[in-house]
Amino acid sequence: MLRELGRYLDSIKARDPAPRSRWEILLYPGVLAIGLHRVAHWLFRGELYFVARFVNHFARLFTGIDIHPGAKIGRHLFIDHGFSVIGETAEIGDNVTIYQCVTLGGTNPTNGVGGKRHPTIEDDAILGSGAQILGPITVGKRARIGANAVVTQDVPEGATMVGVRARPTLVEAEQYQKDFVPYGTPCSEVFDPATQKLEILQCEMEQLQRRIAAYAEERDNKDVAHDEPAKVGKAKSGGDSN
């Protein structure tokens, strides 16, 4: 157990340059919240719902992080700074990083008790600060959700989502870095999606202009070809009269 705790703290240190030692990491609100959630989840699975909620309530007051006792969390989750909300049917894989003020929320309460209402976050995903991931969707492995993005649809593996509503940056998934990149923001080589869309629109306009010019030239050639026989006929008829 202590060995696993050490590996967990080391995994956080690898993603956060701020702490000087493991002891500092033990005081992180995210670490305390996850530790208390493990207890609350164990009680929840044992159908001790009120006690599980009590532990959850204490954790929320103490850390500012609200993790429903029913949420399923994998190994080495790192919640940096806190003030996040994780819903009851949320599922989180291994080595996921969540920054402050993230919500894993629901959009369809009609699913009721036992229904899937909250997102599934797969391994190595990064959720930037203020991101809102809503509904029973899946965020793929190594995906990155940019700061303040609102995600309501499935996210492919390796994709980076930005904006409201979130949209993918226009780069193929295999081009993304597989190493950890903090804060869930796009890499420096990834262009702003709005700029990329403007460039695409400009290219399409240039293509349309070329097609229009080609069509106009073709039409002019047809008009010339159509006029020439008429001129020749007139010339011949004029010659016969003479």
Return the exposure string of 49-82: e unless at least 16 CB atoms fall within 10 Å of the residue's CB, then b.
Answer: eeebeebbeebeeebebbbbbbbebeebbbbbbb
Torsion, Cα of 181, 185, 187, 192 (10° steps) = 170
pLDDT at 165: 83
Digit-by-digit pLDDT tens for the chain (242 residues) are: 888 999 999 999 999 989 999 999 999 999 999 999 999 999 999 999 999 999 999 999 999 999 999 999 999 999 999 899 999 999 999 999 999 999 999 887 766 566 889 999 999 999 999 999 999 999 999 999 999 999 999 999 988 888 888 777 755 444 545 556 566 555 555 555 666 677 788 888 888 999 998 888 888 787 766 666 655 555 555 555 54
pLDDT at 202: 85
Structure tokens at 183: 């804060």
Would you say the pTM of this structure is higher than 0.85? no
What residues does each domain of the chain span?
A: 2-190, 192-242
Alpha-carbon distance 53 to 74, whole Å? 20
pLDDT at 193: 62
**Residue type (1 letter), 170:** L
Tell me which CATH homologous superfamily contains domain 2-190.
Hexapeptide repeat proteins (2.160.10.10)
pLDDT at 79: 95
Non-local (6+) Cβ contacts of 187 within 8 A are 160, 176, 177, 181
